[in-house]
Chains A and B, each alone.
Chain A
Amino acid sequence: MMSLDRLKTLLDAYGADPNRWPEAERAGGRELLAGSAEARAYAQEARRLDSVLAHGALHAEVRVDAAALASQIARTPQRPQPGGVAGGRSRGSGAGAWFAFGWPNFAALAAAGLVGFLVGWSDLGSSAAGGRDVIDLLAPVTVIEEPLW
């Protein structure tokens, strides 16, 4: 048999309608109500509050068109777009990953080779100032490489 204290808690929490109570406790609560005038008095008190709260029923008007909302949201990509900086590529596997990783190497080597050829051909390496110029020329290549490595 349910205790009166437990029934009071149910009434205080869920109100007087047993259908709102936890399913496992409905039978015990109803049994107590049937056999106890004190329990029925508490239930009557809870019922009065329920009656007032019933005035709080809302008829919320839906002003948003469901199809238009869904269509608008569905234009948002669910995944990061392939080709972006982060990309959808998984590094280290597949031909795409190999090309993504490998092409900048060839570009860097070609650029370094070209600079080396120009240094040797034009004798830019004969002065310290010229050396700094070479470093300045190479630097952008390195900066471009870093994010891709």
Chain B
Amino acid sequence: MRDGSDDELMRRAGRGDNAAFAALVARHLPRATALATRISGSRSDAEEVVQEAFLRTWMKAPDWESQASIAGGARFTTWFTRVLVNLCIDRRRRPQPVPIEAAADVPSAAPGGLEVVASNETSTRVLAALAELPERQRAALTLCHWDGRSNIEAAEILEISVGALESLLVRARRTLRGALADLVTDQASPTLKRKLS
């Protein structure tokens, strides 16, 4: 039962239609998991955040129709992604308590606490550099570069202007260019590399 737009499924879920809600979850779970994993930097955190986002979706469903019309028909994916991104950011900002006696034994994951599996050394470097970015910059870059959102949609999700979004993206890419300078230089053509050296 995967028919129907997101808005239609939300309306039906709001009337207690469990099958409609299940279809909504099945449709958005993979992309939500990928997005949350990249922004949170942790697969386990991402799973918890995604579950919380879907719980909020279920609770929101009864009011979806009236509030969507008031908001000018905001698309479900924009609203849902906003919830997801905000939950990721809140979770990363929250201090993670570590018992004193256990602190020395905490196994080190990849740099920046990244637990996701990287395919090679370059991948590890890129993901670690991404994890070190400030939350808003990482969210903006993730939405536009890897999640394929338009600048307008990403700005709506982050509740900022398009100009502010571009500012976040510029700062994020400049930071990454600095952190990954050796890898970026390796991408240069042999002719250019000779000129640079």
Question: Which A residues are closer than 8 A to B by beta carbons?
Answer: 9, 12-15, 20, 22-23, 44, 47-49, 51-53, 55-58, 60-64, 66-67, 69-71, 73-74, 76, 78-79
Contacts and interface: CB of A to CB of B under 8 A. Distances in A.
B173 A70 contact: no
Contacts of A12: 169-170, 173-174
Contact of A69 (B29, B152, B184): B29
Please classify how large the interface on chain B is, using the bins under 10, 10 to 19, 20 to 34, 35 or more: 35 or more
B50 interface: yes
Nearest to B116: A58
Nearest to A23: B150
Interface in B32-88: 33-34, 37-38, 43, 46-47, 50-51, 54-55, 58-59, 61-62
B30 interface: yes
Nearest to B183: A52
Is chain B's binding surface mostly helix, strand, loop or mixed? helix
Contacts of A48: 184-185, 187-188
A24 B62 CA distance: 37
B89 interface: no
A70 B32 CA distance: 14
Contacts of A76: 55, 58-59
B25 A78 contact: no
Contact of B30 (A47, A57, A62, A73): A62
A95 B145 CA distance: 58
Contacts of A55: 119-120, 122-123, 125-126
Given A12-B170, A52-B180, A79-B62, 11 more contacts: A12-B169, A22-B150, A47-B187, A52-B122, A52-B176, A52-B184, A55-B123, A60-B116, A66-B22, A69-B25, A74-B22
Interface in B108-136: 116, 119-120, 122-123, 125-127, 130
Contact of B18 (A20, A52, A53, A70): A70
B146 A62 contact: no
B120 A53 contact: no
A25 B26 CA distance: 36
Contact of A60 (B43, B122, B177): B43
A96 B162 CA distance: 52
B16 interface: yes
Q: 5 smallest A-B Cβ distances: which pairs?
A: A56-B126, A70-B22, A48-B187, A13-B169, A60-B34
